[in-house]
Amino acid sequence: MKKKNTAIWIAVLILLTPFIAYGLGPYTDLYDSFTVSSGSMEPDIPENAVIFTQPVRPEEISRNDVITFRDTSDLYTTHRVVDVVSSEEGLRFQTKGDANEDADPGLVEEEEVVGKVFLSIPFIGGIIYFARTPTGIFLMIGLPALGLLLWELYVFIREVSDFS
């Protein structure tokens, strides 16, 4: 019985690891995490994937690297570098989504780069999006809490009836 419980806990830990890593991203300087909301990088990075980026110096970015950057409207975009342009102001990057026919308009300034993608996990973002909805909150937090409450109530009633 003990081996079965250990295996269950290991499986739960493995399943929860991407979610824990996603949640810790904003609180560490080692990496950041984002949920992909479009299919512009398919098939390599599908919509609803979670990506992890690590900070990188601009001179370490080269063609074919996938970077995440913040544009002028404070939106985050993850696209592939198709060209690196050097100028007196510094490096700038021409980017393009793998599924897009044309390169992105304009160049990404080096200060707009958040990091280079080092890992993507498909589907996890869809679960995260769902967990932020009222139904998701109920199903992922409320329902288990209700189940735990009912279980504790059952155990309490059983113990009280055993004393009678």
Q: Where are the domains of the chain?
A: 2-120, 133-164
- Laid out side by side, the sheet with 66-70 consists of 32-35, 50-54, 113-121, 66-70, 76-87, 90-96, 108-109
Banded pLDDT at 15 (limits 50, 70, 90): confident
CATH topology of domain 2-120: Umud Fragment, subunit A (2.10.109)
Q: 0.75 cut: is pTM over it?
A: no
Residues 143 and 107: their CA atoms lie apart, in Å, by: 47
Q: How does pLDDT run across 50-85, given as a tens digit for each residue? A: 999 999 999 999 999 999 999 878 899 999 999 999
